Structures are given as structure tokens and as C-alpha cells.
Structure 1
Amino acid sequence: MRPARPAAGVLHDLVLPWYAAHQRDLPWRRPDRSPWGVLVSEVMLQQTPVSRVLPVWQRWMSLWPTPSALADAAAGEAVREWGRLGYPRRALRLHAAAVAVRDDHGGVVPAEEAVLRTLPGVGDYTAAAVAAFAFGRRATVVDTNVRRVHARAVTGTALPAPSLSRAEVELATALLPEDDARAAVWNVAVMELGALVCTARAPRCGDCPLATVCAWRLAGSPAHDGPPRRGQAWQGTDRQCRGRMVQLLRDSTEPVPGDALRAVWPEEAQRDRCLDALVAEGLVEPLDGGLFRLPGLAS
């Protein structure tokens, strides 16, 4: 017999005090955080751990403490300061979002989810996260950690499905406290629980505030019976090739000759395909004379 699902109020009463005692001190969560700082953190944290994001976020906020400050800089500077966070298109999207905030919103990050979603590169998750964490709004924030906690504690499964489903969003919405401020804290508390305790590979059930009500644990912690989870490949991939090219441009203070750029990767067809894609996406800018640079930087 499947254990009964714990009530939302029970979950709130167990998780919120745990979060108050165990939350990490992160600058984008502090009382003096700015909505811009929250937006930057949310984009940087996509598929990237906190330990890698923290120094880059601090550097960005020292250089560009407001959207207008970033918008006034070249897009290539954003790519350069993105460092090795990966997926550098995120830097371009943040720059484009900063331009939109400066030009269309008077330099002020909007608070409404619907308006946030109109910013370049801001989707449902990021809009909800900024509304909740920057403005204390009641919004449904569902990331990988939240999905895993809900799957185990409420639905009794070891891991969520590979892709976010409507049922998961509806469950997350149903579990939100009615009060705006409490709902915002609940969102980040569940994320923190998934990041620190209810981890994918080695959950620390003995330290979990939901141990006594978790449907998965009460069912005997059944093994995951879905398709195997595979980590993303890196060696030999287009991502690795693209990363080497962007890193060469990032490390150079001058435009880079095409021959030097192509020398970073041995496989000609893959190399040319990746370079063409980088140019098409706006991450690399071709110049006269067979030179390349990050977008918008002075030659």
C-alpha cells in the first residue's frame, strides 16, 4: 500500500524551520540584494553549481551593479567576464536583458512574471524565481532540486521524470503557502533541501526534516525504475570545441587570426561547423582580414 501524501501544511512546518537554521549565506539571498543581482544569479546558476557561480557573480556585480551598467558595456565584455561557467550564450542573453531593462523599463528590473518573461533569455523558471526571490511574490519556482524533493517526499518516487511535466508544476503550485512572503521562502527552502540533503546520488535521509513523512522513505526507498540517468558528455563534443574557441578569444586582448582560432581543434569539419555556429549566435564576431573577436569589443 502506497503511503499517504503528506499535507502541504505539514511540509511547511517541517521544512521552513529547517531552512531558517541551515540556509547557506549567499549574497543574492541577503536583505541588501538587488533584483538585478537576483536575476544575474538565476541565469548563472542554470546547470552550474554555486561554488563556480559565486566568484563570477561577485565580479559581475562589482563591474556592473545595475542593468544599465552592463547594457552600456560591449556584449563581448559580458562573454569575457563569464569566465568558465559554460554555456556562454547565457552571458549574451543577460546582456540583451540588461539592454531591454535599460531601454524599456527605465533601468528597473520589473517585478511581474509576465513582464519578466518578455526580457531576452528569461523563461518561465527565471521569471518565477526573480518574482519570488527578488520581490517576495507568490510564484511557482520549479528547478531540479525542487522536482526531486517533491518526487520523493510527496509522490514516493526516487527521481522525477527526465522532463518537467504539467503535473509537477501543478503539484508545486498546490504546495505553495498562500502568503506571498512565506511562499517565496518556501520555494528557496525546498531548493536548499534538495541541494544539501535530498541529493540525487546520496540523499542524507537521516538529516532530512521530512524523514518522518517522506512517501519515498516510508515506502522503503524503492530504486529508480525509469530510464538510466546519464551525465552529459564533454570530451570530443561540439561544446568542448566551442569552449576552446571562446576561451582563446576571451584570453586575447586583440582580435585573433582565423588560423590561430582553428588550431585549437584538430577535426576540421567539426571545427568549422562550431565556428560558423558561434558566429551565427553572435558569440564570435568576424572582422576583415580573417580576424575574429568577441562581439562589440574595440579592435
Structure 2
Amino acid sequence: MTDATAQVPQLRHTLACRCRAITEARWFAVAVFALILANAAVLGVETYTGVVDQWRGALRVVEHSFLVAFTVEMLLRAGAHADRPKDFFRDPWNLFDLAVVLAAFLPLVRENSTVLRLLRLARVLRSARFLPQLRIVMVAIGRSLPGTVSFLLVGALLLYVYAMIGWVFFAAHDPQHFGSIGRAVLTLFLLMTLDGLGDSVRAGLEISRWSIVYYASYVLLASFVLVNVLVGVVINSLEEAKEMEEEQAAASPEHSTSSDVGREDIRARLAATRRALDELEAGLSSLEEARR
């Protein structure tokens, strides 16, 4: 019993090394990325009713093949962490991939065609795992959410205030755009993108020359100030995401392996230098004894 217990860590380490050799190989990443692209192509083909009616059986076999392939991929990735299982669950991408694959086996999902299609569509997002730039953008979007929420709150407040002002001054003369708070908000929301600004300004000038102040101040605050603030939040999040990606790359096993190889090379050279110095010292001692 003791020998069997002692062999378990060794077996886990062997399994992890073999699976890691596969998952860290370049061909493995290329193969998985090709599967994701093929899955996306099949999803696009299934939007054509005629093709689905003619090749329904073949498309079902292809979908099951994709599911098997992605399941094998997850088993290999989990096996690569057999000696350190906690590290597998610390990686957000592993958790996302595991959720996407496991959800396909749930009866509730498999019986609902709409949910199943959305789940298959989620597989396309896994391509970000193999594209560093896309991964940085997705991480940046996630990190910018708190700042984006603040932006939306400020934007909603600004929109409401200007909508109420527009309703007070323009509702009687322009009920189509400012007849209620809902119409006023919709009008100003479209103006935030500068869509139809010229027509709105001309219609406002027919009511009052002071309407130019209303529209100019709104466009200045909504289209320039707030949008630039949002751009600043996103750019700052992109910089943070890029720094995180560089830190993770520096701490990756490949980087650590190369560092270890460099240390071993330096140690070997130092050992060879010491041996050479010892041999030189021994030779000098022999010469001195011979002279005596």
C-alpha cells in the first residue's frame, strides 16, 4: 500500500509531462485554432436552409466530431495540470473553455436548439486564446467595464437633463421629436452620434435663435467630452491589459524553462573554469617541484 501511494505523485508527474508536451507544442495550438475556424464555418453554412435540409445528417456528425475533439483537448489540458490541479482552475481561459465544453453535455442545453447554437457560437470566442492581440483587447474590455459604467451613469444623467429641457422649450412646436421625455431622449441619443444634427439645428432656429446654445452645448458635452473620456478609459485599460499579458508571458513555463537552461549553462561553464584553474594550479605545482 505504501509503495502504491508513493507511486501516485510520480504517475501524476509523468502524465502531466506527457500532456504538457502535447499542449505546449505549436502544432497543437494550430490544430485547435483550425478546429475553431472550422466550427465557425459550419455555423455559417447552417444558416442556409437548403444546405441544412440536404446535409442534415452529415452536419450532425460534424458537430459531434467537433464536440469530441474539443473534449479531448480539454482532457489534455487538464492532464497537463495533473501534478498541480489548482493551477488549471486559476487560468480564466481554462475555466471559460471548460464551461463551454461541459455545457454541451447538459440535457437542458442539448434539447434547446437556440441555446445549443449560442453555445457553439461561444466556441468561436475561444480563438482569443490563440491570438494575443485579440486576447489583450478582450481583457481590456473587461477591465474597462467599471469605468464604462461610470461613463454610462454620467451620460444618462446628461441625457435626461437635456431631454427635460428640450421637452420644456420645444414640445409645443416640435412634438414629433420632443413631445415626451421618451421621444426627447431618443432624439438626443441619435444626436450624440451627430446623426441629423443639421436638420435639428435648423428646426430649432425656426422656434428660437437661442436653440443654437442648447444644441451646441449638448453636442460639446455629449459628443466630444464624454466620448473622449470613454476613449481614454479604453486606452488606459488596453495599456493595463498589455502589461498583464507581458507579465504572464514572463512567468510562463516556456520563459522559466529558458531561464533554467541559461542558469544551467552558466553553472556548467563555471564548473569547467574551476576545473581548468585546478589543473593549471596542479601543473604549476609540478613545475615548481621539478625545479627544486
Q: Identify whether the pair has TM-score above 0.5, normalized to the shorter chain.
A: no
Please give the TM-score of this superposition, normalised by the length of structure 1.
0.24
Which structure carries more relative contact order (alpha carbon 8 Å, separation 6+)?
1
Q: Which has the larger radius of gyration?
A: 2
Which one has the bigger helix percentage? 2
Q: TM-score, normalised by structure 2?
A: 0.25
